[in-house]
Copies of this chain bind each other. A is one copy, B any other.
Amino acid sequence: MQNLMANARIVLVNTSHPGNIGGVARAMKNMGVHNLVLVDPQEFPSGKADARSAGAKDVLQNATIVPTLEQAIEGCGLVVGTSARSRHIPWPLQDPRETAAQALAELPKHPVAFVFGREDRGLTNDELHLCNFHVHIPSHEDFSSLNLAAAVQVIVYELRMALLAAEKGDAPAPMWGTEWDEELATSEQMERLFEHMEETLVDIEFFDPKYPRQLLARLRRLFLRARLDRIEHNILRGMFTATQRTLKKLR
């Protein structure tokens, strides 16, 4: 399924700073996207681009350079242009998550281009009008212009999140967002743990069964919501045993 990304194309129009091209290459490769097309870059190739790419030099070396945006989007079935919010003609405007969902649905069918404008003034209206949709990264109104590589980072991150969600299908998310390496304690183990805990709390004179208040309930809630694995369960049992043994030795 990863090779879906072979149909994703990042297009940078008339970029001023080669360092930004390197930063874009790194962000792309981090998220598994490799096709970079540069429309009339002001300085490329460049040592500054290589340096900022930090190991994504292959993306730079394989980049295509073309003179116009029309050539950059050739063959694409879907073209999305990044845009500041207000334009004199309103265009279908998505947020990055909507864009990623739509792109993912179309990547099996045809190449999809994500077009990013100049550092200082974005895409021209003519360029924006070559796009099917515009995508707006919802930045704060008072300070809305993202660094070019940061903007690409957001888009390719959303693409990767969409890809990973699709690969997982509807499988439920694992408990902590990751596979735990140990089996969980069983409910019987937990009950014996709570008995042992109560016994120990009496031994250390912290708990008086005549005045239980909410103490045991609160401790149950804590350990049950933490979902103990077997090692953690064993550690707590070990702590209670050690406490009782040490007290016994002294008594």
Contacts and interface: CB of A to CB of B under 8 A. Distances in A.
A178 B90 contact: yes
A98 to B, nearest CB: 6
Interface in A156-212: 157, 160-161, 164, 176-181, 201, 203-206
A238 interface: yes
B178 A93 contact: yes
A144 B30 contact: yes
B149 A243 contact: no
A110 B222 CA distance: 20
A79 interface: no
Contact of A150 (B150, B161, B176, B179): B150
A1 interface: no
Contact of A204 (B149, B150, B161, B239): B239
Contacts of A94: 176-177
Interface stretch (A8-16, A68-76, A122-130, A223-231): A223-231
A164 B98 CA distance: 14
A242 B204 contact: yes
Given A150-B150, A150-B153, A226-B222, A30 B145 contact: yes
A238 B139 CA distance: 39
Contacts of A205: 242, 245-246
Q: How large is the interface on A (under 10, 10 to 19, 20 to 34, 35 or more residues)?
A: 35 or more
Contacts of A235: 215, 218-219
A204 B243 contact: yes
Contacts of A93: 176-178
Contacts of A203: 246
A231 B90 CA distance: 12
A22 to B, nearest CB: 10
B95 A27 contact: no
A247 interface: yes
B250 A29 contact: no
Given A92-B176, A98-B177, A225-B226, A206 B239 contact: yes
A144 B31 CA distance: 8
Closest 10 CB pairs of A and B: A250-B250, A206-B242, A226-B226, A93-B178, A32-B140, A92-B176, A204-B242, A30-B139, A150-B153, A29-B143
